[in-house]
Chain A
Amino acid sequence: MTLAFLLTLPLHGSLFHVRLVNEMAIFALFAIATNLMLGYGGTMPFGQAAFFGTGAYTCGLLLMKAGVPLPLCLIAAGILSACLAVITGFFSLRLTGIYFAMITLAFSMMIWGVVWKWRSFTGGDDGLVGIPLPSALAPVINYYYLCLGVIAFCMILLLIIVRSPFGSILQAIRENRVRTEFVGINVKRHLLIGFVISGFFCGVAGALFALLSRGAFTEYINYPTSVEVVLMCILGGVFSFAGPALGAVVVILLESLISSYTEYWLVIMGVVLILLVEFVPGGIIGLSRQRKGA
């Protein structure tokens, strides 16, 4: 049903709605990729914006300055973000818990600093404006379908990974790190690979978002973006595959609905989050499961 809705949306919705749903889909991918480390790996990645932003800027710069074909730009965005994840992960995964969170945050702030200051290359605080799209993708609806295709493909890959032996062991690490080590797993290496996969898909999501907004801006890399994606995961439910996607949909919907009535939409967001975490630790997905169980 969801699929049918997504595919036929351009027929009955306005361009505004198409754009909104497109944004939701991109953030759903971003959240699911983040949740690989958060809900499945049991770590606290607080610098995911670095990968999202790196993807956005990579894609934007390749299109604007080098005229690289679009499919290559998307792949390059993923790969460069993954490379960044190798470096970040190498240093941050030596530590656990709050220390891991702080180091990932610090790395993302460094990337933000570089992009902010390197005006000649990245446009600094003006950002990259006017990323050119191939003429076939210029209509919003065409780009919408391309996006859905890429996102569906990425999500299927992530689903396969989560259900694979690699994913099972990732969950075992979340449950009991010491135990996992003593069934013969190199825990740090395993988490690093998970972190790199997560970084790759966050990068692809970032690239798709840059193309949607026809620009890349420093706030993509800044820490509120990192916080927002973690929030989406928690709101939707970190212990299920689809939870974070649902969280992304809800956050963006609330953002768009409430902010048209009041500028204090974050206050309402906060209340919703507090209530959910207090009463339904499994997130919105957990809520629907509780109902079914009762």
Chain B
Amino acid sequence: MVSADREKALDKVFMILEVKALSKSFGGLKAIHDLSLGVKKGSIHAIIGPNGAGKSTFFNLISGHLHADEGEVLFKGEDITKMPPHRICRKGIGRSFQLISIFPNLAVFENIRVAKLSWFRQNMNFCSSSKKMFLNECQEVLDKVGLSGKGSDLAGTLAYGQQKQLELGIALSVNPELLLLDEPTAGMSIGETATQLNIIERLARDHGLTVLFTEHDMAAVFSIAEKITVFHQGIVLAEGKPGDIRNDEKIKRIYLGKRG
């Protein structure tokens, strides 16, 4: 549960991410319609909603993989609406993908190292040997996401849950201020889910990261989120603290599956 002190502290901080009147259509389908949202610095913010509510589209709009038809996205006050993904990443946003997105035929350690090489702007270094670079930094990330002993395994051979952890590790390697996690625990076992949630929570509490995540597992959402936004058919249906959302009759009817 979120302590009263932390809630008070969060009330004072500024919005790290502001989305204003965002719209995106695919053909005739309005995936996101005139949607506005603010995410406070240092908070853990969940987006929930049924399939097709526009959660993934929303993430792709923020990270630059899709471009909005209308509206704008501000990160720390800067307009990032039309930036390509690699520049948005450099501004301080890390993300994970709903379907696992790693480098399957590279070793786990190399998966992290690629991100570190990029972060330290070594991408145009033609002379040094990668093998000796950023050993400590990469190991630190692996420790953080619980893959300490797996560095030399091929990423594609890891168990599903571990691949999810690696995915989180890659996102963390670019030292983001805002972390976008698209269903970070989907498909994980109960034990793995608990570990993953624990890691995410620690990132926000101890390292000051802002986490914006989508999730279908309601138990997971209510256990770590400090604020929840409910999407439905591309618009914001409701927004509030976990307690308020849990007790909202309208949301229960359309989403949580109880008849009012």
Contact = CB atoms under 8 A, between A and B. Distances in A.
Interface stretch (A19-27, A160-168, A271-279): A160-168
Interface string B91-131: 00011010001111110001001110111001111111111
Contact of B86 (A163, A175, A181): A181
B152 to A, nearest CB: 16
Given A168-B117, A169-B118, A172-B103, A184 B89 contact: yes
A182 B131 contact: no
Contacts of A164: 125-130
A268 interface: no
A243 to B, nearest CB: 15
B131 A163 contact: yes
Instruction: Describe A's contact surface by its main secondary structure.
Output: helix
Interface of A: 160-161, 163-169, 171-172, 175-176, 178-187, 190, 193
B84 A186 contact: yes
Contacts of A165: 117, 122-123, 125, 128, 130, 133
Given A160-B126, A166-B125, 7 more contacts: A164-B126, A165-B117, A169-B117, A172-B114, A178-B65, A181-B89, A184-B119
The 10 closest A-B pairs by CB, nearest first: A175-B103, A165-B122, A183-B115, A184-B89, A172-B114, A168-B130, A165-B125, A165-B117, A184-B118, A183-B118
Nearest to A239: B105
Contacts of A175: 103-106
Interface in B155-183: 170, 173-174
Contacts of B131: 163
- Determine which residue in A168, A182, A190 has the highest number of CB atoms from chain B within 10 A of its CB, and name it: A182
B103 A176 contact: yes
- Determine which residue in A167, A169, A171 has the highest number of CB atoms from chain B within 10 A of its CB, and name it: A169
A160 B128 CA distance: 8
A190 B110 CA distance: 18
Interface string B77-94: 000000011100110001
B130 A167 contact: yes
A90 B69 CA distance: 27
Contacts of A166: 123-126
Contacts of B105: 175
Interface in B116-156: 117-119, 122-131, 133
B7 to A, nearest CB: 32
Interface of B: 63, 65, 84-86, 89-90, 94-95, 97, 101-106, 110, 113-115, 117-119, 122-131, 133, 170, 173-174
A186 B86 contact: yes
Given A181-B86, A184-B119, A163 B129 contact: yes
A286 B112 CA distance: 26
Contacts of B84: 181, 186
A237 to B, nearest CB: 14
Contacts of B130: 163-165, 167-168
Given A182-B95, A184-B90, A186-B86, A169 B123 contact: yes
8 contacts: A169-B118, A175-B103, A178-B85, A179-B102, A181-B84, A182-B94, A184-B90, A193-B124
A180 B110 CA distance: 12
Contacts of A184: 86, 89-90, 115, 118-119, 174
A165 B115 CA distance: 11
Contact of A176 (B90, B102, B118): B102
- Determine which residue in A163, A165, A167, A171 has the highest number of CB atoms from chain B within 10 A of its CB, and name it: A165
Contacts of B115: 183-184
A197 B257 CA distance: 58
A232 B130 CA distance: 28
Contact of B85 (A169, A172, A176, A181): A181
B86 A179 contact: no
B235 to A, nearest CB: 27
A169 B133 CA distance: 13
A168 B104 contact: no
Given A164-B130, A165-B130, A187-B86, A182 B63 contact: yes
